[in-house]
Amino acid sequence: MKKKILYTLLAALIAIQFFPVDRNNPAVVDGEDYMDIAQVSDENRLLIESACYDCHSNTTNYPWYFRPQPLGWWLKGHVKGGRSKLNFSEWGSLSAEDRNHALHECAEVLENNRMPLSSYTKLHSEAKLSEEQRAALIKHFNQ
């Protein structure tokens, strides 16, 4: 009986590999991205792109570990959730009020060390922010 369950689970694990996540990014419209609209220093641009853009823009990089399922589905859910909270690639479509709210939220999650996620920074060391970098981004978002 245990062998039958094990074989069934193995077969299911193999079968779900035929249902990969869609790793295509939505189009980025020229002039709509946060970096095109906001005045961002080169230093802050690099920090925001390395710490935020993979989950909060239409320029997500999908590394090899998005391929095996169900891990890929779980990670794609994180990206989808991140984009639904804030998508820097669609900054130009936000109202002034929504932009102000988003900037306030960015500063707040940085102040509370809620972003970038520790699960993300474990695999993406370039996204780890020093206290000085975090303070610089908080200041930038609070302008």
In terms of Cα–Cα distance, which of 15, 10, 17 is closest to 73? 17
Please name the residue that has the structure tokens 């130009």: 92
Please report the pLDDT score of residue 68 as a whole number: 93
**Domain residue spans of the chain:** 2-141
- Determine the Cα–Cα distance for residues 63 and 66; give it in Å rounded to an integer: 6
Please report the pLDDT score of residue 13 as a whole number: 87
Please report the pLDDT score of residue 54 as a whole number: 94
Please report the pLDDT score of residue 1 as a whole number: 83
Mean pLDDT by runs of 10 across the 143 residues of the chain is 90 90 90 94 96 96 91 92 97 96 97 94 94 97 93
- Determine the Cα–Cα distance for residues 81 and 90; give it in Å rounded to an integer: 15
Please report the pLDDT score of residue 65 as a whole number: 87
Please report the pLDDT score of residue 66 as a whole number: 87
Other Cβ atoms less than 10 A from the Cβ of 113: the count is 10
